[in-house]
Structure 1
């Protein structure tokens, strides 16, 4: 079974290079898989880095001259894929040697399925697969939404029949993958979780400088949540997109103080205990702001 791995990327050269190194070391036959890197307008030398690689497996580099967003980038990857099965991963994901083999195994075993596997957060880039405690987390991953493109796969024919990723989401972050997953499920595809097809998802330890980017992404996710619900106005989607966060946001009277408090707790031993709670409030507020902005926009 021929397999294509599609990675959409934007200005993530260094972490993408590490991700590719893990994909080059897969135990799947090298003539049976290819990697497609779709560069969504990067300016950090991503093209030079990828084009200098010469792996035993197939490697294609596709580039948008300017940024269009995840949906359009992934659709470009789908259109150029030679594989019968397409696996989507993020550019900051590290795959163990059996990763492709495990996705392919489930597609050989089951018809009309979406296969996904656990994504285990890590702040390391080396010596990952000997960590038994981390690997054990993969077998505790019972829930989670289907078709999250940090680690998911589907037959190319089903993706094309569904119409691919919806490009109306544009450059904003969030919900593109779940929206496609919802349409695939409506077509009759079933979700199969393969816990042996796990990956490590790189999450660098945050600093205060990261919070502006976090806020921006959560706000965009809130805006895209409204688009998702307007496309599929059913109870299940309404629950997923969490309109209740608008109500939660009203219960946080100190949201204007969050930035200041985050800085205080970052510098003290209280960080360990209080920072996660403050971060959660911060992101709820950002998401609620996105919901409000999205609801103001017309269909």
Structure 2
């Protein structure tokens, strides 16, 4: 088994360092894993990522890195697949820090899953734990908010490259934030692939603790996600996709009511959010902020749908 870990990155140098160092510390108990490589695709970073890699290449014997203009994660992952030499592709994000048994756990789950199903028509999905602890990200424990019901999310999945090629890789029309991985998941599901959960393959997804300076960018992401959601729906006009992108009357009513029709927004809620942040509760503040963030998303979905 030759594993290629494909990682797109864009302006994430500080946490990327931890990501790559953790991947270089993998330990194996099974000789069925012959070797592995880390295929890093820099998506036009401006933070010195490539210079840092050049200066520290001796620390990363398994890393092969490539660069492209800022074309988005779908394009970057496709380039990573093209350059990868392994028969198994693992996707993670560049702000994910893994444990030393990460690759072995995915490999074990793939082997056991193939035995159980009698084919390799499957992929494994590891656990993702969110953390804002930069110094020691792997110390975070699992929380209810870490649960994900996504079928194919590229934060932590392993799959035979043959299925990616049969499905047609990522759609590079998804140039803005969101949905390019779940859209590929729909095509993989149509090919009959089954999800095998692999909670032993843990990745710790780092992001800075929530603060009000992040709000404009988070709102912009939700608007982009709404636009890309309609692209997703145009390709797969099903009720399942409508649920995923929140294009239902239930979602419109829910977030409209919770936000009081937009009265509870980034301006009116900022005193409460700042108070929670000041009292050491940034995660609670973020969950409250999701009220207006989801309202921005739903409005963007319906606007984009109306525009087409």
The reply to whether residue 17 of structure 1 matches residue 17 of structure 2 is yes
State the distance in 2 between where 1:265 and 1:173 align.
28
2:134 equivalent in structure 1: 125
1:107 equivalent in structure 2: 110
Q: Is the contact between residue 222 and residue 294 of structure 1 (CA under 8 Å) also seen in structure 2?
A: yes
Pick closer, same or farther for the CA change 1:139–1:286 going to 2, 3 Å: closer
The reply to whether residue 75 of structure 1 matches residue 78 of structure 2 is yes
Q: Which of 180, 203, 208 is the equivalent residue of 2:207?
A: 203
Unaligned runs of 5+ in 2: 115-119
Pick closer, same or farther for the CA change 1:108–1:152 going to 2, 3 Å: same
Question: After the TM superposition, which residues 119-198 of structure 1 pair with which residues of structure 2 at under 5 Å, given as runs?
Answer: 119-129=128-138, 131=139, 134=141, 137=142, 144-170=149-175, 172-198=176-202
Pick closer, same or farther for the CA change 1:177–1:281 going to 2, 3 Å: same
| Structure 1 residue 53 displacement after superposition | 2.3
The reply to whether residue 281 of structure 1 matches residue 286 of structure 2 is no
Q: TM-score, normalised by structure 1?
A: 0.89
| Structure 1 residue 250 displacement after superposition | 3.6
Q: Which of 231, 245, 249 is the equivalent residue of 1:227?
A: 231
Q: Which has the larger displacement, 193-202 or 276-285?
A: 276-285
| Structure 1 residue 50 displacement after superposition | 1.9
Q: Is the contact between residue 31 and residue 58 of structure 1 (CA under 8 Å) also seen in structure 2?
A: no
CA displacement 1:76-101 (0-9 Å, x = unmatched): 00011111100000111010000011
Q: Which has the larger displacement, 196-205 or 260-269?
A: 260-269
1:261 equivalent in structure 2: 268
Q: Figure out how many residues of one structure are paired with residues of the other and give that number.
A: 292
Unaligned runs of 5+ in 1: none
Q: Which of 278, 285, 292 is the equivalent residue of 2:302?
A: 292
1:248 equivalent in structure 2: 254
State the distance in 2 between where 1:269 and 1:48 align.
39
State the distance in 2 between where 1:202 and 1:277 align.
17
The reply to whether residue 116 of structure 1 matches residue 122 of structure 2 is no
Q: TM-score, normalised by structure 2?
A: 0.87
SS at 1:194's partner residue? Answer: strand
2:62 equivalent in structure 1: 58
State the distance in 1 between where 2:52 and 2:45 align.
12
CA displacement 1:128-174 (0-9 Å, x = unmatched): 54x4x71xx3899775112111101111111011100011111x111
2:117 equivalent in structure 1: none
| Structure 1 residue 34 displacement after superposition | 0.4
CA displacement 1:34-56 (0-9 Å, x = unmatched): 00111111111110122222246
Q: Is the contact between residue 119 and residue 138 of structure 1 (CA under 8 Å) also seen in structure 2?
A: no
CA displacement 1:244-264 (0-9 Å, x = unmatched): 333334433362552223331
SS at 1:168's partner residue? Answer: coil
Q: Which has the larger displacement, 141-150 or 204-213?
A: 141-150
CA displacement 1:160-189 (0-9 Å, x = unmatched): 11100011111x111110111111111011
SS at 1:38's partner residue? Answer: strand
Pick closer, same or farther for the CA change 1:91–1:281 going to 2, 3 Å: same
SS at 1:83's partner residue? Answer: coil
State the distance in 2 between where 1:142 and 1:125 align.
21
Pick closer, same or farther for the CA change 1:139–1:218 going to 2, 3 Å: closer
